[in-house]
Amino acid sequence: METLRSLVGDPAPFLETVWRRRACLLRPPAPLTAPVTLADVDDVLASGLLRIPYLELVAQGKALEQGEYTSAHHLIDRSFRGYADVAKVMRHVDAGATLLMRNIEHWHSGAAALVGRLGAELSRGVEAFLFVTPPGRKGFDSHRDDADVFVLQLHGSKRWQVHAVPADGCWRTGPEPEPGPVQLETTVHAGEVLYVPRGAPHSAVGHSDGLSFHLSLTVRQPGTADLRSALTRRFEDGLDLPPLPVDPAELRRTAAELLDHYRKRLADLTPEELCAAVETVSSSKTGAASTEPHRTLANLAAAPGG
């Protein structure tokens, strides 16, 4: 639990009294080591290879049209749309838009390592999202996420309002125009961590002291869709049917085999086993960070005979 410890301090009281219960401002016991920097963001934008849906621009609760900040690349007599246009992106950020980058663990090794470690410790799928917000500006209006979120403030500061999760558990993800009473209102400064429980409505405004830059680590909890997927996988396990029955008699035989297979697969399945199958997949999606040295083309070229 060393990665969790670096974010929340002693994991035991956090997991017993805060996790999945209430929002909390945390001050890590040691200074946060930023897994990603604004220079990294500049580099990937300048590369011209970042593409929708890895980025989005939002201003005062509304997503900008993708064509306002992307352009097309022309390659081998074809046109490919949706690539970030750094000049357009910066113009909108200068004008007050928030830059959101999704799943940066797909292209940033430091974020990938952090996500891998935290996911392994919590046995959950973890994703990393970046937010760059100009001073005094707001990206999204109050909304709910289908994930527990650790907000790592890496630069500047941001003022947050977090509301309570409904006690009856009845809520939907997305915008929440009536979020209810405020549970926590606080300013998160660089080096601090804000924890927001799954389903808690929240919104934030960049502080007037400068650009706000934070990394959100979203911890996904298994849900109904995951149970359905796990059940489908169980149905398909060991299933070997003809791809295209050629006549009504064969179609009927195939239907009988299919139903018989499903009945057998369901006969001894318990709720506990289905939930365990979901937990296993959630854990394996993240996994532990690899201990193998990262191979590079430069290393290959430097090797004897390279």
pLDDT tens, the chain, 306 aa long: 999 999 999 999 999 999 999 999 999 988 888 999 999 999 999 999 999 999 999 998 899 999 999 999 999 989 999 999 999 999 999 999 999 999 999 999 999 999 999 999 998 889 999 999 999 999 899 999 999 999 999 999 999 999 999 888 788 889 999 999 999 999 999 999 999 999 999 999 999 889 999 999 999 877 777 788 888 888 888 788 777 767 888 888 888 988 898 888 888 888 888 877 776 555 555 544 444 566 777 878 887 765
pLDDT at position 296, please?
A: 74
Q: Which residues pair with 14 in a beta bridge?
A: none
Cβ contacts of 45 within 8 Å, gap of 6 or more: 84, 86, 89
Task: Determine the Cα–Cα distance for residues 191 and 207; give it in Å rounded to an integer.
Answer: 15
Cβ atoms 116, 289 nearer than 8 A: yes
Three-class secondary structure assignment of 220-240: ECCCHHHHHHHHHHHHHCCCC
Cβ contacts of 28 within 8 Å, gap of 6 or more: 6, 7, 8, 9, 191, 192, 193
Length of the chain: 306
pLDDT at position 280, please?
A: 59
pLDDT at position 167, please?
A: 82
SS3 content of the chain, % helix, strand, coil (to 5): 35, 25, 40
pLDDT at position 292, please?
A: 58
pLDDT at position 243, please?
A: 76
| Phi, psi torsion values for 248, nearest 5 degrees | -55, -35
DSSP 68: G
| Phi, psi torsion values for 82, nearest 5 degrees | 90, 15
Cβ atoms 171, 200 nearer than 8 A: no
Whole-model pTM above 0.85? Answer: no
* 228 SS3 class: helix
Q: Which residue has the tokens 């035989």?
A: 253
* 252 SS3 class: helix
Cβ-in-10-Å burial (0-12, 13-18, 19+) of 293 comes to exposed
